[in-house]
A and B are shown apart, each in its own frame.
Chain A
């Protein structure tokens, strides 16, 4: 696969703080890339630097082989979809979509017939047929999202940057738009770089997932790799499905403040030694239940559980007061009930644990 976008050591500074601290990445052509980062990690800044709305202090950006960091936004050929949609409020749906085609500096379409045909095709592609003459204030949030997308796609950019495109939609619509965004992208054959703060959204949508942490790229990989083998405790924390226990490796075990744990699974290097076990890899047993071969575990006091539909999340406090979460999928077993304030044994296979040391 060829790389369409290439960043090397991009630095963006706001006053004393670095929003981007030497970001390097390389994005494949014709694919869906999601960029995951907590708020303040610099993900929006990264998109804005790529689009040309912000100037980096240092670094190099190559798009389709050519350097673009000195080009103004309108010469870059990169589309941008805003979180608030940023539709042109004084234009109708149709005029919004036609705007780029007729007004762009390079190769504007002057033939009204061509414009109408392209806009019509695009309106059909995103499913807005019948709303052409509406003002953009007279349509719903989901429809605005489609107009924003159509307006960009009709100009046939090689790449589209989406800044939390689903952030302004309600939960229901968000799930529907996920698959829709993916299928629209496949039909157009462009690269989507989708920024989000939601780990489920990032994992569900991206062929490739980038994780941004403290102004740097922490990990890049497919969803499966990111989910099962986060490369650092920070990435594991964003994924919001790992219990993280700080401590020290000592011989063949991990000494944490809540007990000594057996080592077994993947070991990666990290500055702060951390032991990570995924919520759904843990089983809850009676306090004195014996551990099977290849298992390890700790004791925890049950506080509460939360029903999420397909699963139940149970919360325990550990000896040092920290919270430990266990996810039980209801497809595996009927929900079991636990006694509040009672102690339980939390056990898992050593090989399921991820150790950073």
Chain B
């Protein structure tokens, strides 16, 4: 059997696979430059234009197509994502720190935390809505939705930090203790700077997951829409290229976020490299 032939075949297949992954996004990006307001979300492109981008920002004359309610939704989604990011990263770091030493019941606690990322949004969302109804609590994106977002993103932050602590050399901390430094101060001055790249990754995870999350949000938020809910609202109606334009913009925003992460990461790479060199010595 010709191993090279198989390799070539699989390489070709993988290319097709990537086309499958990216094709729809590329088509969507192309169609976002359809002319408006009469051009629909399909080929052919009648005329290239940035009409739908202007439409998003309310820069076009009013037409029968209502603008996406993104402005307030964007602010809410960003605030929610930042809140979620902070809380779930703090919870993730502290829990992972606790897991560095074995304790009774750690197995149960581990599964309890990981359950948060496994249980589908519909189920927790529904449960949360029921709890809120029963207790007479109003559902808001900054309340019931926020706590559910943390339930979802905290396990990711926890697992990232667990992996980071697995590779962390604890003798550095012990060295600090033996110099008379309290564990709390050691954590702040030594441990935290060294695990910072991991914390950054946990934050990135939490932010993007929360920013994009909608099934929990759907049930647990009140009348005020977040960005994904605004998009979800378009599902039941006719789709216009403004949604595509919006998709392109959010993707660009995500890449900007990734870029920021990459820059922050490379800033701490020098430090990470120092750690590596020391481990090699």
Contact = CB atoms under 8 A, between A and B. Distances in A.
A and B touch in the complex (CB under 8 A): yes
Interface of A: 51-53, 72-80, 82, 84-90, 99-100, 103-106, 135-137, 141, 144, 148, 151-152, 155, 168
B233 interface: no
Interface stretch (B82-90, B126-134, B175-183): B175-183
A90 B175 contact: no
Interface in B173-197: 174-183, 185-186, 189-190, 193-194
B194 A103 contact: no
For the complex of A and B, 4 pairs with smallest distance between CB atoms: A100-B179, A104-B180, A80-B178, A73-B177
Given A86-B172, A88-B172, A105 B182 contact: yes
Interface in B38-84: none
Given A82-B171, A89-B271, A99 B281 contact: no
B277 interface: yes
A169 to B, nearest CB: 10
Interface in B135-181: 169, 171-172, 174-181
11 contacts: A53-B177, A72-B183, A74-B178, A74-B181, A82-B171, A82-B174, A82-B175, A87-B175, A89-B274, A104-B180, A105-B182
Contacts of A82: 171, 174-175
Interface string B259-281: 00000000000010111011101
Contacts of B174: 51, 53, 73, 80, 82, 86
Nearest to A169: B281
A148 B277 CA distance: 16
Contacts of B181: 74, 99-100, 103-105
Nearest to B178: A80
Given A85-B281, A86-B169, A136-B278, A99 B182 contact: no
Contacts, number: 100
A90 B281 contact: no
A82 to B, nearest CB: 5
Given A73-B174, A137-B277, A88 B179 contact: no
Nearest to B181: A103
Contacts of A87: 172, 175, 278
Given A73-B174, A105-B185, A141-B281, A89 B275 contact: yes
Contacts of A72: 177, 183
A351 to B, nearest CB: 48
A22 to B, nearest CB: 25
A105 to B, nearest CB: 5
A98 to B, nearest CB: 10
A144 B274 CA distance: 13
